[in-house]
A and B are shown apart, each in its own frame.
Chain A
Amino acid sequence: MSTVATRQAPPEVAPAPAVPGRRRRWTRLILPVYTWLMILYFSLPILVMIVFGFNDTKGRLNLRWQGFTLNWYRELFAISGLTTALRNSLVIAVISTIVTTVLGTMIGLALGRYRFRGKGAYDLVIFSAISAPELVLGASLLSLFVTAQFVRGFVTIVIAHVAFSLAFVAVTVRARVLGLDPALEEAAQDLGADPWTTFRKITLPLLAPGIVAGGLLAFALSIDDYVVTSFVSGQVETFPLWVFGATRVGVPPQVNVMGTLIFLGGVTIAVSNALLARRQRG
């Protein structure tokens, strides 16, 4: 509370400026209404996507509402190119998430816990990797692969995805590491545990939420990536690449359905993550 007030206590108690009551109430509404309108604006494309996944389109054009149908949910895998692309995306995302999480956690530990020569440079590299535009990341990787005559495909996509996700996971884990109470580990060591056991039984479980968060982030970054992938994909189609190509001819309703399902999946994970966190705390 403000200690200043005690010296110059003004006659009125209310801190609000002196304006007529009704106007004050009305202006109070502007911000919340605005915020809600913005939330609606954000949701508009999502609602459209979900709703038009149920559209009973007769022709190729999915433009106006033509009736409700669950067809597209049933024929989800009718377009083979789309199914292959989705499968590619999932496989790539899983692989790159695993690699990124392991390597990124290690980086996060190193940066958050130790001081060592070259840490400043390391920090700078991490910072650059986060703030570098994806365009530059993709273009430079393409330059590397072209020079090394490394044919672009599945492998190059995974390499690229790990490269741009590493820094994000590292930063996430580092934040968690910085928040860890060293007393817990010291206690374990005092009780005779060697460093590896300490790490396995104390540090790792404590870091787990950060690692999981990092892993989820890596997965989301990988499965949604368009820019970097478009440079290094060669002939492999991933889901975002396929959808981008489809926007020229008209996006089939299956894309709406898949988008809806991915969306619901992501929401479920996020909500359960939050609920778990709340339960852990409380």
Chain B
Amino acid sequence: MSARGGRGRLTPYLIGLPGGLWLAIFFVLPLLVMLSLSLQSGNVEQGFRFTWEWSNYTDAWELYSTQFIRSVVYALIVTGLCLALAYPMAYWIAFYGGARKSTYLFLILLPFFVSFVIRTASWKFILNDEGFVLGPLKDVGLLPQDFHLLATTTAVIGGLTYNYLPFMVLPLYVALERVDPSMVEAAHDLFASRASAFRRVVFPLSLPGVFAGVLITFVPVASDFVNSGILGGTQTTMIGNVIQTVYLSNNNYPLASAMSFLLMAALLVGIFTYARVLGTEQVMEVSQG
């Protein structure tokens, strides 16, 4: 950093101010307002007042614990699936991609230039009961006539996995790419088999990527509700759908706010436990890219 004079002392504050102000008013403040709302009571016609209404939190859990738990379970399953599916890809591209590494990455990311909602709508189309995939299979008799994928948990998990795989591939790739191949060679020189070289050299070195990938996959999946809304049926509703309905249709702002905070709390607890296990430095490393 070049030494600046007196004028320079103010510079960071000045240039950081507008953006900082925007974030303060439209990111930090809303969270505080939502916290306040979550402890209010009343109804939309007569107004809401702050009354330390902790029952909003207990009600939120009592009424919707199923959906909370379901969201976390789905998120765990999807994150695990994404990790399992993305790792071999990232590994191969990082180690054997050669000059065409960026091309492969580009091809993987290409479909995600299409709008998220359209992608999911396309899956609804592909998985349709009488669509061009299931239809012919049923005509030929390979599937029973009343078999359906839409409106099932499978469809929702499939959609979630599809939509969030790139979130897992990228950090894994970046971490694996940084692994010095000479490390692997060294392991081989020491008579390690391919498998144990992987297990004891490559995988541990890729952990920062695994951590980042799990983090940026688990959190959005747990709070997703688009996949469930488009591909799901009954018994697949996630907490996001509920929060949206309670806010917008029921206008029960305190209850909905309490639910949002419960979700956030659960995610934060998850993140920090995970960070403890893997080392807190990883947490900040994620934001520094």
Contact = CB atoms under 8 A, between A and B. Distances in A.
Interface of A: 1-2, 4-5, 8, 10, 15-17, 31-32, 34-35, 38-39, 41-46, 48-49, 52, 62-65, 103-104, 106-107, 109-111, 113-116, 119, 122-123, 125-137, 139-144, 146-147, 159-160, 162-164, 166-167, 170-171, 175, 182, 185-186, 189, 195, 220, 223-224, 226-227, 230-231, 239-240, 243-244, 246-247, 251, 255, 259, 262-263, 266-267, 270, 274
Nearest to A243: B117
A136 B223 contact: yes
A246 B115 CA distance: 14
Nearest to B85: A38
Given A114-B11, A139-B247, A244-B229, A144 B33 contact: yes
Given A2-B185, A259-B115, 15 more contacts: A1-B182, A1-B185, A42-B107, A45-B162, A114-B11, A125-B23, A125-B28, A137-B27, A144-B29, A144-B34, A227-B223, A227-B225, A231-B247, A274-B102, A274-B106
Contacts, number: 276
Interface string B201-245: 000000000000001100110111110011000000000100110
Nearest to A258: B118
State the main secondary structure of chain B at its contact with A: helix
Closest 4 CB pairs of A and B: A110-B16, A45-B122, A140-B30, A114-B12
Given A133-B223, A133-B267, A186 B2 contact: yes
B281 to A, nearest CB: 13
Contacts of A182: 1-2
Contact of B23 (A115, A129, A131): A129
Interface stretch (B62-70, B128-136, B140-148): B128-136
B2 A185 contact: yes
Given A140-B33, A262-B114, A34 B26 contact: no
Given A4-B186, A106-B16, A240 B115 contact: yes
B260 interface: yes
Given A64-B131, A240-B117, A35 B188 contact: no
Most chain A CB atoms below 10 A, which of B18, B114, B230: B114
Contacts of B157: none
Determine the interface band of chain B, counting residues with CB < 8 A from chain A: 35 or more
A136 B263 contact: yes
Contacts of A223: 115
Contacts of A147: 33, 36-37
9 contacts: A2-B189, A31-B92, A42-B110, A49-B114, A116-B12, A125-B24, A162-B22, A186-B2, A224-B117
A31 B198 CA distance: 14
A129 B96 contact: no
A110 B12 contact: yes
A135 B31 CA distance: 12
B89 A38 contact: yes
Given A17-B194, A38-B85, A129-B23, A49 B15 contact: no
Contacts of B106: 270, 274
Contacts of A195: 4, 7-8
B108 A42 contact: yes
Contact of B15 (A109, A128, A160): A109
A10 B89 contact: no
B278 interface: no
Nearest to A162: B22
Contacts of A262: 113-115
A175 B289 contact: yes
B193 A17 contact: yes
A142 B23 contact: no
Interface string B257-288: 10010011001000100000000000010110
A135 B33 contact: no
Interface centre among A116, A131, A140, A266 (most CB of B within 10 A): A140
B234 to A, nearest CB: 15
B16 A107 contact: yes
B260 A134 contact: no
Contacts of B18: 103, 106
Nearest to B4: A195
A263 B225 contact: no
A224 B131 contact: no
B108 A39 contact: yes
B248 interface: yes
A43 B165 CA distance: 13
Nearest to B11: A114
B200 to A, nearest CB: 15
Contacts of A267: 110, 113
Contact of B124 (A111, A224, A230, A247): A247
B151 to A, nearest CB: 12
A266 B118 CA distance: 15
B121 A4 contact: no
B16 A251 contact: no
Contact of B226 (A52, A115, A226): A226
A65 B222 CA distance: 36
Contacts of B256: 139
B54 interface: no
Nearest to A8: B189
